Amino acid sequence: MLKTKTLGWGLVLCCALVFSGCGYYFPHVYEGAHRVVYMQTWKNRTNKLGLDMKIYQSLSRWFQKTEAVDLTKEKSGADLILAGEILSIDLPSVSWNSVSDATGTKVQLYVRYALKDLKTGKILWEVPNKLYTADYTVQTATSAADDEALSKIIDDMSEHIYLGVLNKLRKQQTQAQPAN
């Protein structure tokens, strides 16, 4: 009798936990209304050729993680615009040890970007000057080490922008829902 009663309360407790929810969500997943984000290749104010395309490709890979948001180069039919600019890049900043051997490299990338709702004209998110950095330990300072650090920066930046856009879309969707 005691086992049946304990089992019954355990089942009630499990059901209560399942149906109450904990409020946790997965930040990489957006399940709202389908949205189309227009993004051209960013303006590149640096002398690092191809950097603008690397950023576009990285952002494209991140936006492929959700089916509810499409990234496009066509402005017609888009709901939002994600515009950006590469302001400057510092390649490399090298650390040296006591016998003048290179021990590390530090790459710095300055960018700015904004997310705008095309229907209302309202800017949803603006970052006027953002610094992204990556430090790498190296045996010798080479362009390969710089490229590896830059790839890390671009991926981190793209993830940050992707999550920021999803956050703004969630917020926009919550504000659009009528209060009960």
Which CATH number is associated with domain 33-176? 3.40.50.10610
Higher pLDDT, 170 or 85: 85
| Dihedral sign (CA 115, 117, 118, 120) | negative
The verdict on pTM exceeding 0.85 is no
What mean pLDDT do residues 175-180 have? 67
Alpha helix ranges (H) inside the chain: 2-20, 51-63, 143-176
One-letter amino acid for residue 91 of the chain: L
pLDDT tops 90 at residue 153: yes
**Model confidence over 91-115: pLDDT tens digits?**
765 555 555 555 667 789 999 999 9
pLDDT tops 80 at residue 69: yes
3-state secondary structure of 72: strand
Looking at residue 47, its pLDDT comes to 92
Among 47, 51, 122, 107, CA closest to 84: 51
